[in-house]
Every structure is written in structure tokens, then in C-alpha cells.
Amino acid sequence: MPLNPVARFSRAQCPPLDTRYRVETPEGIDLLLRPAGLVPRALAFAIDLLIRGLLLLAMYVVLGLLGKFGMGLATILLFLVTWWYMVLFEVFNQGRSPGKQLLGLRVVHDDGTPVGWAASLTRNLLRFVDILPFGYTLGILSCLNHPAFKRLGDIAAGTLVVYRDTLPARPSLPQAEALHAPFALDLLEQRALLGFAERGASLSGERRTELAAILAEPLQVPVEQAEQRLNGIARGLLGPT
Amino acid sequence: MRLTDASVAIRPRGPWEALDLGVLLARRHAGLLLASWALVTVPIFALLCLLLWDYPGWAIFAFWWLKPAYERLPLHILARALFGDTPSLKQALKALPGLLRPQLLASLTWRRFSATRSFDLPVLQLEGLSGQARSQRLVVLGQRDAGAASWLTVVGMHLEMALWLGLVSLFYLLLPAQIELDWSWQSLANAAAGEWLWLEHLSNLLYVLVLIVWEPVYVACGFTLYLNRRTALEGWDIELVFRQLRQRLTGVAYALLLGCGLLLLQAPTPVMAAEIGSCPLPLEDPRGPEAARLLKQPLSSQAAQHSIEQLLDQPPFEHRETVTRWRFGEQEPAAEPSEEQLSGLLELLEKFFKLAEFWNSIDAVALFFEALLWAALLGLVALLGWRYRQWLGVFAGRLGLPQRTATPPSRQLFGLEVTPQSLPEDVAGTVEQLWAEQPRAALSLLYRALLSRLLDDYRLPLNSAHTESEVLRLVEDLEQSELSSFSQALTLHWQNLAYGHRLPPDELRQTLCQDWRRLFDDRVRT
């Protein structure tokens, strides 16, 4: 089957697809942000919508008892809940409205700094553009088409919805005698070795042996001992705990 | 399948991130995916419309029901594109009949309503499993991430609806006003059964268009979710790095062997490079740069250093100002409160509480709040005034309010007194008198007078840091040719005399004095 040479060329040019977004600080440090896509954002929005709906319903029931005065208050509160709910939560709660909090998302500036008043107001006022012509059509299309999953409000305000980084759990390594690696390892390879040891429990026994067998020759050990040897090196890399 | 060929970054991700990767993957191959989907579904929809022209509802229902069948094509394209073997449109369409064969009936009947449809499809289509093996595999894969797959389907349903409504309302918005007038909602509702069939078919077509955009994304998201699950289950990322490491290490071993062989073959040759001569370092003064030098002459290094420091200590190199402010005097030692004072204070407090009780009525509270609000307003105004004080200052200048008075021009230049009072009434006359006996004093007087006039009449911002040539440049900026030529001539001869001790030619006296009279004497001194 003949391969399209143009397609092959372009593939060689473009880097592998990844969901990470790289921000370089002035100090030359790369921050890795993980922008959140349409599905979690839609779910977070649905949760927020539900909360707001319930809030308004409760308010109307309570304030309805107060007659016209109550309705006046309710109108003011309706304005606040509609236009300020997201802004206030985002600015005062580290970029997290309740829905985003549940889904593990937060809003930040493009450079990874916490979102401020101007950006938050812009992105939430421009919801109106995203809603056009009905039911967030433009927002959905923009979100699907943008490499960092931004809707139009995000593009205008220079903000990004990212996954929050959670503290990783302390890994448990299989018991093995700590060993020095017989060859130099770069960071990626060290991580892979540690990952092999840490995730051993979630891999099947055969798969573990298969993976370890790849490195049996450079380690100069028989295939059966390779796994144990790799676990030992991982322990050595981890250091005393 | 070779992992090193994968066009996505392989690492274990969270389920949501895996879905996001699917969006990116669909975006990269968007053209092919949309085109192939449209080429398959639009003819089918047209066919269904023709067959079921009178029942548009049934037509779109049948089209919707067949969705799992169309989804196999995008998955085929994505699976091949993942490892760099992107098929062309023609190849993809040719492969479609073969893709439809396995388990189509099951997909279209009892598995039609599975919420994890997109996640399960790769097991069927790419792994080719069926029956017991398939269900076991699904159980293993579905231990994690199946929730995300269900949510994907739920969100997808709502997105389809939202996009469809969006397109419908866009269509409605774009109707010309004349047509819109004829359509009332009621007639639309009444005519639902009758002559508005084409309108219903049109809205069905909009749904088909929405699916062209969304379905490839849906399939891609399910596919990447499946990939992510397998990455976690089988350690694909680990395998990838291990393979690269192995290649590096074994490659290095071969290279070493080869290198050793080459080294042994070649006999060492003598080194021919010349010896590097050392560059001589400057001799260091043992006393250091700060030590006193040139002690046997009038201007020793210490004296020079001293005068340099003095110069650097004066303006314009040093800016000093004296600030005078009011402040509280010395704190008096706090006197012990006497018995009387204490009792007085207690009484006062008691009175205050009584007063507070008395005030405990609405009016007092209202008054308090009023005062508070007024205070807040005043404070705000003051704050705004302070905040924009510079802006106000600019504005006040426009209105002609008194400005800060300009600092008086300096009265001494190059050590010469330049106040008008220090000059004689008739400068030119005095110069003419002095010229014969004391040419130095005469020229100096003329130069001083010129500087004084420049300061007072022309308001040149001269100060003691200006040199003669800088003064000349400032004069040229005034763009008065007569004045500047006079100043140039005078400055030249003054410099010749003052620094070079060269006497000016005698005929110069006449020209300079005449020029002076013409330039300055017919004017009234300000």
C-alpha cells in the first residue's frame, strides 16, 4: 500500500500529541499545566448550573413570603447569582467554583498565575458570546477546536482551565536489596524504572517479566532475574526512605 | 504495532485527560474524519428521507439507531493514524464493508444502548474479540475509566442537543424578515402533520450535520480512553523507555567495540603542537591603586583625589535637599493618674453609658449611620483627590492656577558673578575704556554681561555645570543668527585669552562693542 509522502513528511515534523501545556518562567523553569477539555468542563458547568438553580429556587420560596419587597430582593440576588457567582468563586477560591472543585479543575491565567478580577470578569461576561446562538454553540465549537480547549471567553481573557495538581500518594516499592545502576540513566529512564517498580502491582506477572526481559541483556543477567534486579535498582534510585 | 511510531505522547493519564487527548487526536485528523463521516452518513440519510418521506420522525430515528455502524470507520482511521499509517479517504471508504461485518447485529440491537459504546468498540474491532473473551476483556478494562466513558456518552447526548438547537436558532435568526412575518408559531404547530414536512426534514438534516462534527470526536475520545487504560494495564510507557534504553546501551557497546578496534589499528603519532608561551602579566604595584603617588610635584595624587571628591560632592553630581517637617515634641513621661482623675474618668464612662442607653433609639442609630456614610463619602473624595493628585495638578495648570514659582537662575557661572547688579550700566563703554590697559578684564566683563543677558532676557537654563561650548549650543537653539555669531566670536576670543593667554586683535574691540550695542542696548532691561 503506497504511503502518502506528504503525510509522512508532516508527521515526522510535528511532535507527538500531548495534553500538556508548557509555560516557561523567566527563570527558565518549565511549568507543565494540563488544560481541561470539553467533557469535564461541561460537567463542572452542569453542577454549577444545578447549584445556582437550587439556590435561586430556595431564595424565591423564602423571599416570596415577603411580598413585593421580597421580590425586589430576589431580583437583586438573581443578578448577583447569575453574573457574580463564577467571578466571586474564581477570585476568592483559587479559581474554583463548586463544580470545578468537584471535578478537580481550576482557572488560571495563561502563564499559570492565579486568576484575577479583570480576567475573571472578562471570561464570565463573555459567556454571552459563547452562548450564541443558543446553548453554548460557539463555546462548544471553540473548545473542540482550540489546542488548549479554550472557549471564546477564555481566549479574550487570557485564561486557562487546568486540572489541579493533587499530592501524589507515597509509592510502595516491592522489597528488594538496593543496587546501583550499572549504567548511567537520564531522568526519563530513572522515572521509567521507578514506574516499573511502583506500578508492578497493577501489571500482570507475565507482563512484568516481559518488560524486564527487554533490559536483561544490557543488565547481563538471565531473564528470570531481570525483574528482581530492576526492582533493586529502583530501590537504589529511591534512596533510603 | 510499534510503540516508538505512536503519534501521541504515551503516558498514563487521568480519565478526563485521556478524553482530552481524544479531542486533540480528532482535531489533528479532522479533515479526513469529517469527510469520511459525511460521505457515509449523508447518502444514508438522503436514502432514508426518500424512503420515509411521510414520516420524518421515523427517518431520523432510523438514522440515529444506525450510529454504531458508522462509528467503525472513524475508529479504523484513528487506529491506523495513531501509528503513523494514515489512510487516504479512498482507502478508508474501501475498508468500510469489511469493518461492518463482525457483530453488527449485536451492536445494533442489545448493545445499542450501552453507555460505554465508544470505549467497548476498540475491543471488538481492533482486538477482534467476541463472546466470552470479549466480556472478560471488558470487565478487566472497565475496572477503571468506565465511568468516564459513560459520562462521555451522557455529555455527548447533551452536546448533540445543544449544537442542534444552536443550528436551528441560527437558521431561524438568518431568515429574512418578510418570511418570518408569515410564520406564526401556531401555524407551525398545527401544520406539524401536514405541509411542513420539508421543514422537519431540514431540521433532521441539521442533526446530521451536527453529528459530522461531534461523532468523530466521540469515537476518538473513546479510543484514547481505551489506549489510556491499556497503557496503565500493560505499562506501555515503561516499555517504550525500556526499549529506547536497551537500544542506547547495546548501541553504545557496539560503538565501543568498534572504537577500540580502530584505536588498536592506528599507531600513535608524535605530538607536533608548539609549546604555548606564557603571556606576561602586568607587574602589580605593591602599594595598591589607592596609595599616594607623584609626591614631588605641586599637584600630588592626594590633592587631586581631594579636589575630585569635592567636585563630586557638589551639584549637579550630588543632589541634596533639606526637608523641614512638623513633628511631635519629646514625649512627656506619662503622669500617674491621680485619684481624682480616675474617679472623674469613671463618672465620665458612667455618663457615656447612660448617654448610649438614651441614644438607643432608631433616630440615634440612623444619625450614626448618616454620619458614617458622610464620613465615608468625604473620605472617598479625599482618597480620589489624593490618588489623582498629579492628574489634578496638570489640570490646575491648564486653568491658570498659581504654579510653583520657578527656581531663580543661578547667579554664578564659571566663578563669574553674573547678576545684573554686578555689571556697570554702560557695558560697552566700560569695555572700551578697559580694553587698552586690561584686555582680560574687558573681555571678561563682556562675557559676563552676555551670560547675564542670556539668563535674564532669553531665560536660558544655564547653571554652573555648563561649559562654554554647551552655552553656545544652547544659544544656537534660540535660532537668532546675529546673537549666535556674536556669542561665537566672543566665546572664541575669551577662551583664547583666558586659557591660551593670547591677546585679542585690537580691531575686535570696535566690532564687539558695536554688536553689543546693537543687540542689547536698545532694549530695556527686564
Nearest by Cα to B207 from B236, B168, B175: B168
Half-sphere exposure of B53 (CA within 13 A, CB side): 3
Q: Are residues A61 and A159 in the same domain?
A: yes
Number of C-beta neighbours around residue B497 at 10 A = 18
- Are B245 and A217 in contact (CB < 8 Å)? no
Average pLDDT in the A176-186 region? Answer: 86
Q: CB distance from B152 to chain A under 8 Å?
A: yes
A100 within a domain of the structure (yes/no): yes
Q: What is the 3-state secondary structure (H, E, C) of chain A?
A: CCCCHHHHHHHHHCCCECCCEEEECCCCCEEEECECCHHHHHHHHHHHHHHHHHHHHHHHHHHHCCHHHHHHHHHHHHHHHHHHHHHHHHHHCCCCCHHHHHHCEEEEECCCCECCHHHHHHHHHCHHHHHCCCCCHHHHHHHHHCCCCCCHHHHHHCEEEEECCCCCCCCCCCCCCCCCCCCCCCHHHHHHHHHHHHHHHHCCHHHHHHHHHHCHHHHCCCHHHHHHHHHHHHHHHHCCC
Shortest distance, CA A219 to any CA of chain B (angstroms): 9
Q: Are residues A69 and A130 in the same domain?
A: yes
Distance separating alpha carbons of residues B459 and B313, to the nearest angstrom = 27
The CA distances from residue B199 to B53, B105, B171, in Å, are 12, 33, 11
Question: How many residue contacts between A and B have a Cβ separation below 8 Å?
Answer: 149
A119 within a domain of the structure (yes/no): yes
A178 within a domain of the structure (yes/no): no
How many domains does chain A fold into? 2
- Per-residue pLDDT of B370-390, as tens digits, reads 999 999 999 999 999 999 888
Q: Are residues A157 and A200 in the same domain?
A: no
Shortest distance, CA B174 to any CA of chain A (angstroms): 11
pLDDT higher than threshold 60 for residue A180: yes
Q: Are residues A143 and A93 in the same domain?
A: yes
pLDDT of residue B282: 53
Q: Are residues A194 and A98 in the same domain?
A: no
Q: Are residues A68 and A138 in the same domain?
A: yes
Q: Are residues A54 and A155 in the same domain?
A: yes
- Per-residue pLDDT of B445-464, as tens digits, reads 888 888 888 888 888 888 77
pLDDT of residue B332: 59
Q: Backbone phi, then psi, for A203, in 5-degree steps? A: -95, 150
Query: In order along chain B (526 residues), what is the average pLDDT of each group of 10 residues?
Result: 83 92 94 95 94 90 94 94 90 91 86 90 90 90 89 95 93 77 59 69 93 95 94 91 89 67 52 46 62 78 89 84 84 62 84 72 79 95 91 74 53 71 81 84 86 83 82 86 87 87 83 84 56
Q: Backbone phi, then psi, for B292, in 5-degree steps? A: -75, 135
Distance separating alpha carbons of residues B232 and B200, to the nearest angstrom = 47
pLDDT higher than threshold 60 for residue A61: yes
pLDDT of residue B61: 94
A75 within a domain of the structure (yes/no): yes
A172 within a domain of the structure (yes/no): no
- Per-residue pLDDT of B52-72, as tens digits, reads 988 889 999 999 999 999 999
pLDDT of residue B268: 45
Shortest distance, CA B243 to any CA of chain A (angstroms): 7
Instruction: Tell which of A129, A147, A163 closes a domain.
Output: A163
A8 within a domain of the structure (yes/no): no
A219 within a domain of the structure (yes/no): yes
Instruction: Tell which of A148, A163, A178 closes a domain.
Output: A163
The CA distances from residue B426 to B345, B432, B450, in Å, are 79, 10, 13
Contact yes or no for B92/B76 (Cβ under 8 A):
yes
Q: Are residues A138 and A202 in the same domain?
A: no
Q: Are residues A98 and A200 in the same domain?
A: no
pLDDT of residue A154: 95
- Are B159 and A38 in contact (CB < 8 Å)? yes
Q: Are residues A95 and A52 in the same domain?
A: yes
Contact yes or no for A144/A38 (Cβ under 8 A):
yes
Contact yes or no for A124/A158 (Cβ under 8 A):
no
Which residue in the set A43, A149, A214 is minimally distant from B151, CB to CB? A43
Residue in A102, A137, A146 to test binding to B, most B beta-carbons within 10 Å: A137
User: CB under 8 Å to B377, separation ≥6 — which residues?
Assistant: none
**Where does residue A116 rank: exposed (0-12), middle (13-18), buried (19+ CB within 10 A)?**
middle
**Where does residue A185 rank: exposed (0-12), middle (13-18), buried (19+ CB within 10 A)?**
middle
Q: CB distance from B370 to chain A under 8 Å?
A: no
In A, which residues are within 8 Å of B152 by CB distance?
39
A126 within a domain of the structure (yes/no): yes
Q: Are residues A61 and A122 in the same domain?
A: yes
Q: Which string of DSSP letters, residue by residue, matches B219-268?
A: HHHHHHHHHHHHHHHHTHHHHHHHHHHHHHHHHHHHHHHHHHHHHHHSPP
Number of C-beta neighbours around residue B337 at 10 A = 10
Distance separating alpha carbons of residues A227 and A223, to the nearest angstrom = 8
User: What domain range is A206 assigned to?
Assistant: 187-238
pLDDT higher than threshold 60 for residue A8: no
| DSSP at B309 | H
- Are B238 and A192 in contact (CB < 8 Å)? yes
pLDDT of residue B278: 47
Q: Mean of the per-residue pLDDT values for chain B?
A: 82
Q: Are residues A206 and A133 in the same domain?
A: no
Number of C-beta neighbours around residue A37 at 10 A = 27
